[in-house]
Amino acid sequence: MMNTRRMMERRIEKERDREAQLGGIEKMLFEQALTNTAARSDARVEAMRRQRLREQEETELRQDALFIQRMQEQERRQKLTEMEDRLARELERRKAEQIREYQNRQRVINGSDEIRDLKAKLEAARVTKERAAQLLEQQIREEEERWHERVLAERMEEERLKALEHEVAKEQSTENVKYQTKLMQQDQIRLREKAKEESMAEYIREKEQVEQIVEKIRLEDQREVEERLARQAEAQRELALFIQQKDEERRMQQIKEEEELRKIEEFARMKREREERIERERKQAEEEKKRILNELCRQQAERNAEREELEYLRDELYREEREALDRAKDEAALKKAIEDRFQMMKAFEQQMAEKEERKLQRAEEERKFRDIMLAKFAEDDRIEQMNDQKRRIKIQEHKREVERLVDIRRQMYQEERENELRERARLQEEEAQKQRIIEEERKRLLREHAAGLKDFLPKGTLQKREDVDLLDQAAQAKVKARREAK
């Protein structure tokens, strides 16, 4: 029993051990599973954390990149704005400098007597050129008028010759008309003679007819004597009346022909008189035209002579006035130059005298200042009643102080002298710049305006050989430009 119990106990213990082992294994497996699950969860969490970190880093990187980009853009914009501001300020400065330079240039040009004198001379040359052009145009116009007058005279001469030829032709035509009239008269005479002959032949024929009638009547009316006599008497009356009518008709025809001939002769006479009258009137008109033309030519010649004399006198007066004005200007310019040179010399002498006086005054002031300072220091030393050694040291210190003050005053004087020299150099530079501006403006005026006025420039306008070369170059440039334009 005991063995069975022990066996059972051992078996139970074994079972318990086995269960404990199984429980330990299960627990270990469970723990391992938990560990694995936790490990897997930790891995996922770590992966998620790393993912979040990467995303956060990427976000931060993007934000940093955006921030850097914004900062760079802002910096770029700021630099661009600053650059634009600097550029605008530089442009404004340059523009203001150009405006100041232009205003200064205009002030120098407007205040230059040389430029004003050159402009006046160029204006005088332009007026002289215009006057010469007007005179040339007037001469051309007068020459054209003379040419037109010659052409008119030639035309009038041609018309006169044509009229003479026409008159000769008319005279020949008149002779022809007279000849034709004569022929017509001869034809009319022949016609009248022929008409007379025809009338006579008609009369003879009628007479023969009458005789035949009478004979017939006599032959036929022998039986009726009274009737025949009556008819014969009637026939005789009719014949007499017929003959009378024919004679009247011939007489009227002759009168009509004579009247026509008279009218023809009267017409020819009137025509000759009218032609003679027309010829006289034409000759009178031609003589009157010639007289008027000669009178007009004489008056025009007198007016032209008076106008030419007046223009000549006016030109001479204008030339004399311009020469007198130029001489006066040259004399005034020479006088002004001499006066300016005298004033400059006087001012220089006065300036040198003032400079020497200031130098003496400064030396006197330095001496007085040194004496005053030495006296003051000596007085101070005397008051302090120092011993000799200290007094000598103090005197040396005082001398060094005085020398230092003198050096300061000398340095101030030297600085003042240097300032004066710089101011004088600045004034000389301004004067040189002024002369350069005046010379450039003078060359510009000559180049732009004097090239076409070379032959009309007053005396003294071209001062140097370079001015003549400048005008030649300007003229060549204009010729070249015109050729290129063509």
**294 falls within a domain:** yes
CA 268 → CA 56, 192, 251, 263, distances in Å?
143, 21, 25, 8
**pLDDT tens sequence across 281-304:** 777 767 776 776 677 667 766 776
Q: Give residue 379's pLDDT.
A: 59
Instruction: Please indicate, yes or no, whether residues 40 and 159 belong to a single structural domain of this protein.
Output: no
Instruction: Please indicate, yes or no, whether residues 92 and 153 belong to a single structural domain of this protein.
Output: no
Instruction: Please indicate, yes or no, whether residues 151 and 281 belong to a single structural domain of this protein.
Output: yes
Last residue of a domain, one of 385, 414, 444: 385
Nearest residue to 253 via CA among 193, 166, 317, 327: 193
Q: Give residue 169's pLDDT.
A: 60
**247 falls within a domain:** yes
Number of independent structural domains in the chain: 2
Last residue of a domain, one of 355, 385, 415: 385
**437 falls within a domain:** no
- Half-sphere exposure (CA, 13 Å, Cβ side) for 439? 11
**281 falls within a domain:** yes
Instruction: Please indicate, yes or no, whether residues 231 and 355 belong to a single structural domain of this protein.
Output: yes
Q: Give residue 453's pLDDT.
A: 63
Cα gap 440→421, rounded to integer Å: 28
Beta carbons of 188 and 261 less than 8 angstroms apart: yes
Q: Give residue 417's pLDDT.
A: 77
Query: In which residue are the tokens 């030649």 written?
Result: 472
Nearest residue to 373 via CA among 337, 349, 402: 402
Beta carbons of 191 and 253 less than 8 angstroms apart: no
Q: Give residue 447's pLDDT.
A: 74
Instruction: Please indicate, yes or no, whether residues 148 and 253 belong to a single structural domain of this protein.
Output: yes
Last residue of a domain, one of 83, 111, 139: 111
Instruction: Please indicate, yes or no, whether residues 163 and 301 belong to a single structural domain of this protein.
Output: yes
Integer Rg of the chain from CA = 73
Whether the model pTM is above 0.85: no
- Please list, in sequence order, all residues whose beta carbon lies within 8 angstroms of the beta carbon of residue 257, skipping any fewer than 6 positions away: 188, 192
Q: Give residue 200's pLDDT.
A: 65
Instruction: Please indicate, yes or no, whether residues 100 and 185 belong to a single structural domain of this protein.
Output: no
Instruction: Please indicate, yes or no, whether residues 105 and 127 belong to a single structural domain of this protein.
Output: no
pLDDT below 50 — which residues of the chain? Answer: 1, 214
- Structural domain span for residue 370: 112-385
**426 falls within a domain:** no
**449 falls within a domain:** no
Q: Give residue 79's pLDDT.
A: 82
**433 falls within a domain:** no
Q: At what angle do helices 388-449 and 113-220 cross, to 10 degrees?
A: 10
